[in-house]
């Protein structure tokens, strides 16, 4: 394990003004995305859509890394260049999703455990050979009267730490993603409590399993009111409560926190990140690792048509630029009007 290399990669992923594109949708999830624009999900349409994103001129100004899926890391651009090489040539670090999904946790009422540890050491070695320099593993937790249970919190924390240790052994920076789902009618206070419990368990396990925190990144949820709550917290309250939670539970040695967007709108995800950075500086870089919140406008503009590729790339570039601004606390809603018209 090259500790210095892990640390420098982690720091590069949260470089000033930059964040991560999550393009690691499973075959099932990308099918839903393509269905929404009336495009059949085939290996070629998935490849063409990812190429559109990865070859967007100038995106590297705001995108430091891209999380790929198993299929995608093996695909190539239309000129035959493997996608990891396409990204690396632009100074963008290729990464890989390595979990095999959240499955029912035995003897619970609807809670989940993320699987994928079996054979992971060998898969990480292969992915590193294909060009990956970091990895991601997602665990999910629900908020309800009796959830998340201690059982769910600690079994997922243990699995996240086992994954992370194997990554560092393989020379890959682990992105640790404990996502407390924000679906439901819960208050922001209930979200704060659940998120704090989850983070406390995760960092206890990471410490006990000998992780070097300086060569890791955290990809958590923001602390929000439930998406169906009658009284939603403002961006300022989200920033205050989220920061209070993370100051209490995330070690300062962690180079960066790369928030997931969850079910937030594109602009809400940007505004919330901006509000947190406007309160900086913080011990860690506060960045983004967005999937749908970076891609949705591009997907809609593309519509599966070759003649729309440039318009789609402009839409993706704009969202990347807006989130780059949020990294420094300089984003303002008026900037949304700067999008180049199709």
Q: What is the mean pLDDT of the chain?
A: 96
Does pLDDT of 146 surpass 50? yes
pLDDT digits (tens, 9 = 90+) for 282-293: 999 999 999 999
Does pLDDT of 340 surpass 60? no
| Per-residue burial over 204-217, b = 16 or more CB atoms within 10 Å of its CB, e = otherwise | ebbeebebbbbbbb
pLDDT digits (tens, 9 = 90+) for 83-140: 999 999 999 999 999 999 999 999 999 999 999 999 999 999 999 999 999 999 999 9
Cis peptide upstream of residue 281 (ω within 30 degrees of 0): yes
CB 209 within 8 A of CB 164: yes
Reported confidence tier of residue 339, pLDDT bands at 50, 70, 90: low
Reported confidence tier of residue 337, pLDDT bands at 50, 70, 90: confident
β-partners of residue 218 are 176, 257
Residues 6+ apart with CB under 8 A from 164: 137, 174, 176, 206, 209, 211, 216
Sign of the CA dihedral running 318, 323, 233, 228: positive
CA distance 108 to 136: 25
Average of pLDDT values for 2-26? 97
Domains and CATH numbers, the chain: 3-338 (3.20.20.70)
Average of pLDDT values for 239-244? 98
3-state secondary structure of 311: helix
What separation in angstroms does the CA of 81 have from each of 8, 73, 76, 77, 305? 26, 11, 5, 5, 22
Helices 120-129 + 150-170 axis angle, to 10: 40
Residue 341 is predicted with a pLDDT of 46
Reported confidence tier of residue 76, pLDDT bands at 50, 70, 90: very high
Instruction: Select from 214, 217, 138, 129 the least CA-distant residue to 170.
Output: 129
Reported confidence tier of residue 7, pLDDT bands at 50, 70, 90: very high
Task: Measure the N-to-C terminal CA separation of the chain; round to a whole number of Å.
Answer: 47
Does pLDDT of 310 surpass 80? yes
CB 288 within 8 A of CB 19: yes
Concatenated DSSP letters of 84-140: HHHHHHTTPEEEEE----EEEPTTSSS-EEE---TTHHHHHHHHHHTT--EEEEEEE
CB 231 within 8 A of CB 271: no
3-state secondary structure of 153: helix
How many other C-beta atoms can be found within 10 angstroms of the C-beta atom of residue 146?
A: 9
Active site residues: 177, 219
Angle at 33 between CA 156 and CA 311, to 5 degrees: 125
β-partners of residue 178 are 139
- Lookup: tokens for 257: 């926190």
Residue 342 is predicted with a pLDDT of 45
Residue 1 is predicted with a pLDDT of 73
- Lookup: tokens for 240: 């205050």
Residue 186 is predicted with a pLDDT of 96
């Amino acid at each position: 394990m090259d500790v210095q290399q892990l640390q420098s990669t982690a720091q590069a992923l949260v470089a000033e003004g930059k964040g991560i594109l999550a393009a690691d949708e499973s075959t099932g999830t990308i099918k839903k995305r393509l269905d929404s624009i009336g495009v059949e999900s085939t290996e070629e349409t998935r490849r063409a859509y990812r190429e559109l994103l990865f070859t967007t001129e100038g995106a590297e100004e705001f995108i430091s890394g891209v999380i790929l899926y198993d299929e995608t890391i093996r695909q190539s651009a239309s000129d035959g260049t493997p996608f990891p090489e396409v990204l690396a040539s632009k100074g963008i670090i290729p990464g890989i999703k390595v979990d095999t999904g959240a499955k029912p946790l035995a003897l619970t009422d609807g809670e989940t455990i993320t699987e994928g540890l079996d054979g992971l050491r060998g898969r990480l070695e292969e992915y590193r050979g294909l060009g990956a320099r970091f990895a991601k593993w997602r665990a999910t937790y629900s908020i309800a009267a009796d959830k998340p249970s201690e059982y769910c919190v600690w079994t997922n924390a243990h699995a996240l730490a086992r994954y992370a240790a194997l990554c560092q052994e393989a020379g890959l920076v682990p992105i640790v993603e404990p996502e407390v789902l924000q679906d439901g009618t819960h208050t922001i206070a209930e979200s704060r409590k659940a998120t704090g419990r989850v983070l406390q368990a995760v960092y206890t396990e990471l410490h006990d399993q000998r992780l070097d925190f300086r060569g890791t990144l955290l990809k958590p949820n923001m602390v929000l009111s439930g998406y169906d709550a009658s009284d939603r917290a403002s961006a300022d309250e989200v920033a205050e409560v989220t920061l209070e939670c993370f100051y209490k539970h995330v070690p300062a040695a962690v180079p960066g926190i790369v928030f997931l967007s969850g079910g937030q709108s594109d602009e809400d995800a940007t505004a919330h990140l901006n509000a947190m950075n406007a309160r900086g500086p913080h011990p860690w870089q506060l960045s983004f690792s967005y999937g749908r919140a970076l891609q949705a406008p591009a997907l809609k503009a593309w519509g599966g048509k070759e003649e729309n590729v440039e318009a789609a790339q402009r839409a993706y570039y704009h969202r990347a630029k807006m989130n780059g601004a949020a990294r420094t606390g300089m984003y303002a809603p008026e900037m949304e009007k700067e999008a180049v018209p199709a």
